[in-house]
Chains A and B, each alone.
Chain A
Amino acid sequence: MRMVKWSAAFVLVIAIGLAAFVLITAPRALSDQRLTVLKTPGNAQRGEGIFNAGGCASCHATPEQEDRTVLGGGLELASAFGTFVVPNISSHPQDGIGLWQARDLANAMLEGVSPRSEHYYPAFPYAAYTHAKIEDIADLMAYLRTLPAVEGKTVSHRLSFPFNIRVLIGGWKFLFFNRTPVQDDPTHSAQWNRGRYLVEALGHCAECHSPRNALGGIIAAQRFAGGPDPEGKGWVPNLTQHEKGLKDWSIADIEDVLASGSTPEGDYVGGSMAKVVRNSAQLSKEDREAMADYIKSLAPIEGPVRPPRPAF
């Protein structure tokens, strides 16, 4: 009798565990109610601005060529979990996303879910894009449709076990994915709020400029405080107002580095930030100043200890 009780309890625990696992890890698409906005066609011209602010080309542009609108993918991103291969998001119907509707792009960027209802890896910065306005996604979709179709499907990611199991990303989302919308803060200026939107949502600056834990989640207490380059080469600088960060940089200095890549010390930003600058250089000066205004307001955080850096 006792035996039966125990095994019933055991089965119940397992069942609850499984149900919780399925519930937590299940990819969740946007509700139809949120998607109603997408019924009106987007504005491609505005979408170009979203494309530049979102820095899509930094990763999705075909490597080793100059055209930022050739989005054939193929760039390899090394990480502690393996190598991610950036997909083709050109308008090619089979190899790219030419058959996507705005709702597919919205699910991808706001929820990290593919049209086949699978999780995307957070190397695709939906943790930031999730704060984007859904109207902006519609405009972006309209713009992406105007870009050339690039042939060639990209190869799969090469990830180590257990990170190659996509369903586990549901667990990552449960732990680290914060969908809370970024509301305008009335105590700050319109410029600051615009800057916050560009930095936090579209620009996804914190995705690289924050240290991450062993599971690939941003360490919240050190957000924007820099850290080792996730690709394993060098260091990503601290953007906060700490003296190891941008304390000595003026708003004009931050605007200028986003416009030209030139730092106040006369150096030029390198690596993937050089690609970011190619996008931010396309924004209006007002938008770059808004980003600078917001970045200048980031509370000082010391961040991880940086090793001494070689000069050249």
Chain B
Amino acid sequence: MIRPIFTLLFLLTGFSLAQAQTDAIAQRRAIMKGVGQANADVGKIAKGEAPFDLAKVKALLSASQEASAKMPGLFPDNSKTGDTAALPKVWQTKADFDARWKKLGEDAAALQIAITDQASFKAKMSDFGKNCGGCHEGYRQKN
């Protein structure tokens, strides 16, 4: 009687571990997608294709802050492979990777206060994007 229970437990554990791995990839993908969409909206504003909308700018900053808080924890060792574009360098220089996320969050928090209107948006937003490019250069597969 005890054996089938253990077998079942064992299988369940294995299943949930596998689940955790795909969950991490799915979660980071969902977060990055959210940041990307928010950034697309702000990009249209920056290019003058959409009217200035402070709420959309704040939404991008909030999405960046959320990503900054959650992303460093979403790269467990068992999520190196699978349907992911994360490069091995994420795990090789994890401290730098995490530090970049931290800086993104800090910069976003500062801009939440500093950006109040179109003029401050134009003056202060452009450098923020360098945080994105910085990580995409070495930590994500070109695509």
A residues near B (Cβ < 8 Å) are: 229, 233-236, 250, 252-253, 256, 260-262, 264-275, 277, 309-312
The verdict on B32 contacting chain A, using a C-beta distance below 8 Å, is: yes
CB distance A265 to B36 under 8 Å? Answer: yes
Within 8 A of A (CB), among B32-77: 32-33, 35-43, 46-49
Contacts of B102 in A (CB 8 A): none
Choose from A229, A261, A311 the contact partner of B132 (Cβ within 8 Å). A261
CB distance A229 to B36 under 8 Å? Answer: no
CB distance A256 to B43 under 8 Å? Answer: yes
CB distance B136 to A268 under 8 Å? Answer: yes
CB distance B137 to A266 under 8 Å? Answer: no
The verdict on B142 contacting chain A, using a C-beta distance below 8 Å, is: yes
CB distance B129 to A260 under 8 Å? Answer: yes
Contacts of B136 in A (CB 8 A): 261, 268-271, 274
CB distance B35 to A270 under 8 Å? Answer: no
**Distance in Å: Cβ of A180 to nearest Cβ of chain B:** 31
CB distance A309 to B85 under 8 Å? Answer: yes
CB distance B85 to A252 under 8 Å? Answer: no
B residues near A (Cβ < 8 Å) are: 25, 28-29, 32-33, 35-43, 46-49, 83-87, 126, 129, 132-134, 136-143
Contacts of A274 in B (CB 8 A): 133-134, 136-138
CB distance A266 to B142 under 8 Å? Answer: no
CB distance B133 to A266 under 8 Å? Answer: no
**Distance in Å: Cβ of B52 to nearest Cβ of chain A:** 16
Q: CA A262 – CA B60 in complex, angstroms?
A: 14
Q: CA A78 – CA B86 in complex, angstroms?
A: 19
Q: CA A226 – CA B32 in complex, angstroms?
A: 25
Decide: A267 near B36, CB < 8 A? Known: A253-B47, A260-B126. yes
CB distance B141 to A271 under 8 Å? Answer: yes
CB distance B47 to A270 under 8 Å? Answer: no
Contacts of A311 in B (CB 8 A): 29, 32-33, 85
**Distance in Å: Cβ of B109 to nearest Cβ of chain A:** 20
Q: CA A277 – CA B142 in complex, angstroms?
A: 13
Q: CA A267 – CA B140 in complex, angstroms?
A: 12
Q: CA A273 – CA B132 in complex, angstroms?
A: 13
Q: CA A182 – CA B40 in complex, angstroms?
A: 36
CB distance B84 to A312 under 8 Å? Answer: yes
Contacts of B48 in A (CB 8 A): 252
CB distance B142 to A268 under 8 Å? Answer: no
Decide: A265 near B40, CB < 8 A? Known: A273-B142, A310-B83, A310-B84. yes
CB distance A256 to B47 under 8 Å? Answer: yes
Q: CA A264 – CA B36 in complex, angstroms?
A: 9
**Nearest chain B residue, comparing its CB with the CB of A269:** B136
Decide: A266 near B129, CB < 8 A? Known: A234-B141, A274-B137, A310-B85. no
Decide: A266 near B85, CB < 8 A? Known: A235-B142, A274-B137, A277-B133. no
CB distance B28 to A262 under 8 Å? Answer: no
Contacts of A250 in B (CB 8 A): 49
**Distance in Å: Cβ of B49 to nearest Cβ of chain A:** 7
CB distance A275 to B38 under 8 Å? Answer: no
Choose from A266, A272, A312 the contact partner of B86 (Cβ within 8 Å). A312
**Distance in Å: Cβ of A236 to nearest Cβ of chain B:** 7
Contacts of A266 in B (CB 8 A): 35-43
CB distance B84 to A261 under 8 Å? Answer: no
CB distance B133 to A261 under 8 Å? Answer: yes
